[in-house]
Amino acid sequence: MAYEYDHLIVGAGMTADAAAKAIRELDRTARVGLVGDERHAPYERPPLSKGLWKDDRPIESIDLGTSASGAVLHLGRRVVGIDRVARRVVDDQGGVYAYRRLLLATGATPRRLPIEDERVIHFRTLDDYLALRRRAVPGASAAVVGGGFIGSEIAASLAGAGCRVTMLFPGDGIGAGRFPYGLSDFLDGYYRERGVTLRAGTRVVGGRGAREGVELAFSDGTEARFDVVVAGLGVVPNTDLAAQAGLAVDDGIVVDARLRTADPDVFAAGDVARFPCAPLGMRLRVEHENAAIGMGRHAGRVMAGTDEDYTTLPFFYSDLFDLGYEAVGLLDDRLDVVEQWVQPYREGVVYYLDDGRVRGVLLWNVWGQVEAARDLVAEAGPHDADSVRGRLPRLA
């Protein structure tokens, strides 16, 4: 089949949805098409690891309603090539799509464990959630590999579902490297109190599926068997298509402040894009919802004819049992870390400074301060521990 679109979007995730809606707001007649390799229409990903487990939120509620924008959804199809001269892409089923402007919103793919077994779930998609939910029965033993965002959220959700959870990660503690030592140590205790077994400093070095479960081999020479294994080992941006099409790739598709590649009719946004982040004065690739929605929306607007830079410093958030946070900028404990606790590890702010400037702010159970945190990061400074403490209105 052959199709013709004014605006073609490859990938059908949150970025694609935001772009399609933004195009429609500015152009009521444009022909907009989305090609996505998942079988589902665009949906919210963040509830997969938390909200859907906690609130008995129905699955249908995560659907983003993209087709109401008038965009045509081509689902279950993978784009396998881009011909920028002919302005055409082709999918894995022989579909050919002509475009005037193209957005690459191909997102990212989880890193994999070296074990092929359907009980090993590299958690990313709605189908992964459905597969895990089927196995996450009370009493089931679950290994969660990874102590970052996905691992810590999924471990909490599985524990809440009554599973016997073991969390394994190479670092010293949950969120180590991102959170200050004391906070990471507190989190470890918080998880243990809620029944999660932690194995810090441990890597999975091998394993195999057996009839009774998945057997994992660890870096310390031990082995253990689990009913289900969830991997949260980080993701790799889906840049192959862009690279094949001769576009610049550097751990992400390289775009300018308009979210355009070197080809003025090809854009990239969301988890896959490496963009110039003006408030931090550096290129970034962000794997968070606020960036996906904001950049998708921005790319859609520029594709539809506006001429403006993307200047937002994205924020991100996470929920861990009944704790939660929002954050902006760089969270890296190698920076100068300034902690300001209203109540230790229950409510407070962590500032990350480098060379007299605030580079990141963690708002721990502190809400409504994202804009103030963004302003602080945008300030030229100079800042030090004394000048940042009390800068956020809630904590002044």
Ligand X SMILES: Cc1cc2nc3c(=O)[nH]c(=O)nc-3n(C[C@H](O)[C@H](O)[C@H](O)COP(=O)(O)OP(=O)(O)OC[C@H]3O[C@@H](n4cnc5c(N)ncnc54)[C@H](O)[C@@H]3O)c2cc1C
Among 7, 21, 24, 45, binds ligand X (CB under 6 A): 45
Q: Is 299 in the site for ligand X (CB under 6 A)?
A: no
Among 3, 7, 11, 233, binds ligand X (CB under 6 A): 11
Residues 224-253 that bind ligand X (CB under 6 A): 238, 241
CA 284 to each of CA 174, 314, 356, 359: distance values in angstroms, whole numbers, following the listed order: 24, 10, 20, 13
Among 5, 9, 33, 37, binds ligand X (CB under 6 A): 37
Pairing of strands 204-210, 228-231: unpaired
Q: Which two tokens stand for residue 313?
A: 């410093």
Interaction mask 149-168, ligand X, x per CB under 6 A: -x------------------
CA 30 to each of CA 8, 10, 72, 260: distance values in angstroms, whole numbers, following the listed order: 10, 17, 11, 19
Give min distance, CB of 47 to ligand X, in A: 8
Q: Is 35 in the site for ligand X (CB under 6 A)?
A: yes
Say what the alpha-carbon torsion angle 8, 245, 40, 19 is, to the nearest 10 degrees. Answer: -40
- Residues in contact with 117: Cβ distance below 8 Å, sequence separation at least 6, in sequence order: 208, 209, 214, 229
Give min distance, CB of 384 to ligand X, in A: 29
Give the Cα separation of 25 and 302 in Å (integer). Answer: 12
Interaction mask 315-354, ligand X, x per CB under 6 A: -xxx------------------------------------
Sign (positive/negative) of CA torsion 340, 349, 158, 188?
A: negative
Per rule CB under 6 A, count of chain residues that contact ligand X: 36
> 255 - beta bridge partners?
none
Contact 348, 341 (CB under 8 A): yes
Q: Which stretch binds ligand X (CB under 6 A): 199-207, 289-297, 342-350, 382-390?
A: 289-297
Among 21, 88, 288, 297, binds ligand X (CB under 6 A): 288
Give min distance, CB of 317 to ligand X, in A: 5
The footprint of ligand X (CB under 6 A) covers 10-16, 35-38, 45-46, 48-49, 78-79, 105-108, 123-124, 150, 238, 241, 270-271, 287-290, 292, 316-318
